[in-house]
Structure 1
């Protein structure tokens, strides 16, 4: 049985920050639905090992090694993928980082690092890929936002600021690029079990708070983000643009 609205056969997806965690889950999920995927990160050995593991399951996987916080490196990396591997039909801007400390003690260098990794990378990679998509008159861009695009919690104010920026940058990209046949949306994960969140997963007090705070009463599993990514990558979302889809177990319903 064929489901053309969710079939990604013949499409190529670049997923930033995809050697582990959410990025790897999304890359694997798109590959499961027929897409060729390009993994991205800075550690070539780690990316190649991840790519080999995915190829062993029968997926079409390549790697693009470049630093998403370096505008020049991004342009070179995207242009090389387009020339040597093929057109990027789908971009998932997933690369991100977190740093937790009280706001009054937050180091300036970590503030700058968060901005570069969580916001500037979305602009740099989005712009570099969109320039090619505009010429073709089609494309899908998915930015990874967060429940912190809507909520705040002590100790992560700068992260919250960056994810609020990602939500509004998604809207801005839509305003500029929708006319070229590109759909730009965001996925906002709630609290998921990832390496980025491992310290919180291991904190019994925090996990208990989260289970009480979230209507679904549990942490999310990264594979539960795949459906949203496949939807926003395929034909089924052809008139969805500038939207942020919260995949959060309902936590944002309880503001």
Structure 2
């Protein structure tokens, strides 16, 4: 066996990646990581203007980036996205299921339509896109990496003020979806892992951070005394995507400054 150097194990040259929810925030950060390691990247989210701006940012960094607007909660859009990605990229080596939504409301008054919106995007969409990508490429090639974005909210309950029952439930489902898919598709050479971010400043978390007393108050409770930044998901993304992690599947890792350790997650 030829022993590769560490730089070779993390190298994604010649690989392709599809990143949903890739126009900003954590998705764009992960797209940077994959592209900086040599992968061609296709971004997707609902808003074309945001995608165009994100792709321009990646291209300015020397990354081969394309985009397609699609709703990851819509089965027809998911099928269209998977077909487009295979045509544009030639194949999909890495799928990052990152598109997501949250909703704040007391459990006793949580609207059904809001519950369905969160569940359809945060877990059903992950399943449908993974299914398309596997059936139309990864299974035949006997290789592939799927990275699902979960959350430390999927590891347990929340402080009462957060009131995000649908989000927590969906992210808990993502974790067991990851484990189940990893065991079922392992013999195809497909690895499936999950990342559990903690608190990162983003549009989606603004309401939650405010409800918990603001970003500084939340950071003060973390062992590392800070929130996540625009680099903190890069390392784990690259590990799960590359041959450096070729013997890792069905796992999740919290990237949260130690918050989940305090809560027993």
- Provide TM-score, normalisation by structure 1: 0.95
Alignment partners' CA distance in 2, 1:200 and 1:242: 29
Correspondence list, 1:214-229, <5 A: 214-229=222-237
Q: Does the 8 Å CA contact 2:6/2:244 hold for their aligned counterparts?
A: no
Verify: 1:144 aligned to 2:152, yes or no: no
Aligned-CA RMSD value = 1.7
Please give the residue correspondences for 1:190-209 in structure 2 after superposition, counting only pairs within 5 Å: 190-201=198-209, 205-209=213-217
**1:116-142 deviation line (CA, Å, top 9, x unaligned):** 111111101111111120011100000
- The answer on 1:15 being equivalent to 2:23 is no
Which moves more between the two structures, 4-13 or 45-54?
A: 45-54
Structure 2: runs of 5+ lacking an equivalent: none
Asked whether the 8 Å contact 1:170–1:242 carries over to 2, the reply is yes
1:6–1:230 Cα contact (<8 Å) kept = yes
Instruction: Please list, as runs of the form range in 1=range in 2, the aligned pairs for 1:90-239 lying within 5 A after superposition.
Output: 90-131=94-135, 132-153=137-158, 154=160, 155-201=163-209, 205-239=213-247
Where 2:170 maps in the other structure, the secondary structure is helix
Give 5+ residue unaligned stretches, structure 1: none
CA contact under 8 A between 1:69 and 1:124: conserved in structure 2?
A: no
| TM alignment of 1:68-107, pairs within 5 A | 68-107=72-111
Give the Å deviation of 1:64: 2.5
1:208: Cα distance to partner?
A: 4.8
Contact 1:9–1:34 (Cα < 8 Å) also in 2 = yes
